Structure 1
Amino acid sequence: MDTYCWSHLGHAVHTVHQQPEQDYSDRPALLLVHGFGASTDHWRYNIPVLAKTHAVHAIDLLGFGRSSKPAELAYGGPLWRDQLVAYVQERIGRPTVIAGNSLGGFAALAAGAELKQDCAGVVLLNAAGPFSDEQQPPKGWAAIARQSIGSALLKSPVLQRLLFENLRRPATIRRTLNQVYVDKTNVDDWLVESIRRPSLDPGAFGVFRTVFDIPRGQPLDELFAELTAPLLLLWGMRDPWINAPGRRATFQRHAPAATTEVVLDAGHCPHDEVPDQVNASLLDWLAGLT
């Protein structure tokens, strides 16, 4: 597996790349996109398997992992969408399947819709992001007051710093992972450290603070309407962070008619919790594309 430092908007971006031993250049490349607080390290059990038959790339979004964390950037969907689009066009240079988990799923879908014919497919693993009807403002004085007070508290620099210091403690990281993994086998010291290490970088707290101000971005239903590539939804149905059955039903109402779905007995990060099942499902779907 090769590592490469690519530049986007003048900032260093960490990427990894692994090629098959045989020539499979007739098949689409794969670009893997991590979720919030994670990095290319989170694809540890996927890249070696997928790279047997496809050129596989993984990228650290700006603000995360080993990529730069500059204070002046407007973190959010448009930044990460454009980063992925530029990487496909500049570094891969051929039709690419983009797969993303959680926040990375939202970025993958937005990039796939933007790339048009240069996107060979999109794979969403418990993707984040709002639908149009979820962006409506709260109704009634009580709902507005609750949201306003909660928002004001979360924008307090002191409270944000306290939250950040607590969230990057190894014990807190492990506890959080144990909450979102049904099978805790892969919640190991290596995974905890891969999440803790980037939080020590200069600028990490600044990126964390932007979480409370990140624009929601384009709604998922609008992105689905713009997507021309095949879509695969991989669901960890025991995800405690989202109402997976309810969210799946919403996705089914808006996703393209030919969408493929795979339901797994896993939590928020199925690619790392049940990698054998995710790899098999993804390779089976990719075989149908080729």
Structure 2
Amino acid sequence: MSCLASPLPRRTVESFTWNYLDHPVHSVRQRPPQQLSDRDQPAVLLVHGFGASTDHWRHNIPALADRYEVHALDLLGFGRSAKPQGLPYGGGLWRDQLVAYVHDQIGRPTVIAGNSLGGFAALAAGAALQDTCAGVVLLNAAGPFSDEQQPPKGLAAIARQTIGSALLKSPVLQRLLFENLRRPATIRRTLNRVYVDRTNVDDFLVESIRRPSLDPGAFGVFRTVFDIPRGQPLDELFVELQAPLLLLWGIRDPWINAPGRRSSFQRHAPAATTEVVLEAGHCPHDEVPDQVNEALLHWLSELEVSQRTSCPEDHS
């Protein structure tokens, strides 16, 4: 097994295993300097997209942790987390995993930020957490609306364009596709399609995606990409969400038709939603991390001010 150095500073990032449904879940945590630590602040939980892991937040965790306690985890089926057979992989499983993590490992109001598939899971978890959710941040989030039929996105779209839906039912063809998609050259080519600025499409990123695909059970998880349940519509989750919402758009995302997707969100998202549009692709947090970190920190600081002013002073 090759040893891959993490770009996150080891002296400040804690890496640990948390068990969910009796399966090990890889998690990382970084706290702000002691003098800035404040239990009244919300924590931040970062959720990766399909095929990614905590490594995809490599440029965000240190910057956000200058002020906030930051957590990230690998969803079951991905990264360094377990990939057991028989689990109902989909939004419901990952929603419940995030809710349990907030209760078990954070224990206070939390802002949940997610990219792509992780965005759908973050929104669903935020709605389920009710008062324990301090905010939700969606970065090019996946998920259906009730008034539309979304075509396949991401890996599923590439596969269907290449082979066709009917043939993808064949386990043999699924295995061949899986073997091709996890080749370093294919991973790099796919990333180059969805990053406008390819500076950060580096060896670390490619290896962080390839390495988990070698784990036992990875092929079984991959096969679910073609059959993941559509999940609860986003507009229904918006109605249930009680926390502030930030939409961060990589507006040049070729996987989701970002301008059209943004219009759909504007029709359904709560009125108090904040939007930030960036010249980036499907993964703006890794492609233009400085801009995403600045937008996130600004929104988080405004969130704190709003929460302080909305709380009546204690005159007892």
TM-score category by the smaller chain? over 0.9
Structure 1 outlier segments of 4+, above 2 Å: 134-137, 149-152
Tell me if 1:254 matches 2:268.
yes
Distance 2:226 2:92 in 1: 16
- How much does 1:284 deviate? 0.3
List per-residue Cα deviations over 1:168-206 (Å, max 9, x = no partner): 000000000011000000000010000000000000000
| Aligned ranges 1:23-172 → 2 under 5 Å | 23-135=37-149, 150-172=164-186
**Residue aligning to 2:16:** 4
Contact 2:144–2:150 under 8 Å retained in 1: no
State the identity %. Answer: 81
Contact 2:83–2:218 under 8 Å retained in 1: yes
TM-score (norm 1): 0.95
Distance 1:195 1:184 in 2: 16
Q: Which amino acid in structure 1 is aligned with residue 129 of structure 2? A: L
**Residue aligning to 1:286:** 300
Distance 2:140 2:282 in 1: 6
Q: Taking structure 1 as reference, are residues 136 and 66 closer, same or farther at Cα in structure 2, changes over 3 Å only?
A: closer
**Residue aligning to 1:20:** 32
SS of equivalent residue, structure 1 residue 286:
helix
Distance 2:214 2:98 in 1: 25
SS of equivalent residue, structure 1 residue 132:
coil
Q: Taking structure 1 as reference, are residues 106 and 136 closer, same or farther at Cα in structure 2, changes over 3 Å only?
A: closer
RMSD: 1.4
Q: Give the gaps of 5 or more residues in structure 1.
A: 138-145
- Paired residue for 2:239, among 225, 236, 241? 225
Distance 2:264 2:227 in 1: 25
Q: How many aligned residue pairs are there?
A: 280
Distance 1:31 1:166 in 2: 32
Q: Which amino acid in structure 2 is aligned with residue 18 of structure 1? A: Q
List per-residue Cα deviations over 1:72-131 (Å, max 9, x = no partner): 101000000000000001110000000000000000000000000000000000000111
TM-score (norm 2): 0.87
SS of equivalent residue, structure 2 residue 228:
coil
Contact 2:64–2:297 under 8 Å retained in 1: yes
- How much does 1:150 deviate? 4.5
Q: Give the gaps of 5 or more residues in structure 2.
A: 1-12, 152-159, 305-316
